[in-house]
Amino acid sequence: MGKTFFIIGGARSGKSAFALTLADGMEGTKTYIATAQAYDAEMEERIRNHKDERSEQWHTFEEPLEVAATIKKAGSGVALVDCVTLWLTNLMGADLKDSEIISKAADLSSACRQSAANIVIVSNEVGQGIVPDNPLARRFRDLSGKVNQLLAESADEVYFVAAGIPLKMK
């Protein structure tokens, strides 16, 4: 069985670059699961920049919702999921209830544990600022925290990234 690596950090903390370095060092076929949806020009540019950072070895799947199913298709080697936070945004945008979202995260955790591939998962810490004014942002923050806990709990290794420097937490 493969191992699961959970990488958490703030925006622009270097977490994606660290995840890519980690995954590039692993053997076998390389599957990149991008959860981003290009709904505006700013996002399009971010997606393009991320793609430019990857070598040609990587096969990219754009999958905004069904991440667990995509992992099942990944086979052996390594699969990199970037990122959980946008996936959660997409699930909320698709009008899923909290319980349905937690259930999706449990499916992802289970798919990681059962996969022959090493899975590297990237997520954001979004709960270390002031409590947001609007209820939707609070719901997003709560769900992010719960989903991060669930995925980190079942991961073999957990890294916290700040200023591009990874710190092994588990």
Write out the catalytic residue numbers: 50
Q: Which two tokens stand for residue 118?
A: 């090493």
Site string for its own copies, 150-169 (x = CB under 8 A): -xxx----x-x-xxxx-x-x
CB-side neighbour CA atoms (13 Å) of 93: 12
Q: Which residues contact 107 (CB under 8 A, 6 or more apart)?
A: 68
**Residue 93 in the binding site for its own copies (CB under 8 A):** no
95 versus 131: smaller Cβ distance to its own copies: 131
Contact between residue 118 and residue 2 where contact means Cβ atoms under 8 Å apart:
yes
Cα separation of 150 and 26, whole Å?
24
28 versus 64: smaller Cβ distance to its own copies: 64
Interface with its own copies in residues 110-149 (CB under 8 A) = 123-132, 137, 140-142, 144-146, 148-149
Question: Is there a cis peptide before residue 112, judged by omega within 30 degrees of 0?
Answer: no
Smallest distance from the beta carbon of 80 to its own copies, in angstroms?
18
Interface with its own copies in residues 2-21 (CB under 8 A) = 6, 8-14
Q: Which two tokens stand for residue 136?
A: 């939707």
3 versus 72: smaller Cβ distance to its own copies: 3
Q: Which two tokens stand for residue 117?
A: 């591939």
Binding site residues, its own copies, CB under 8 A: 6, 8-14, 123-132, 137, 140-142, 144-146, 148-149, 151-153, 158, 160, 162-165, 167, 169-170
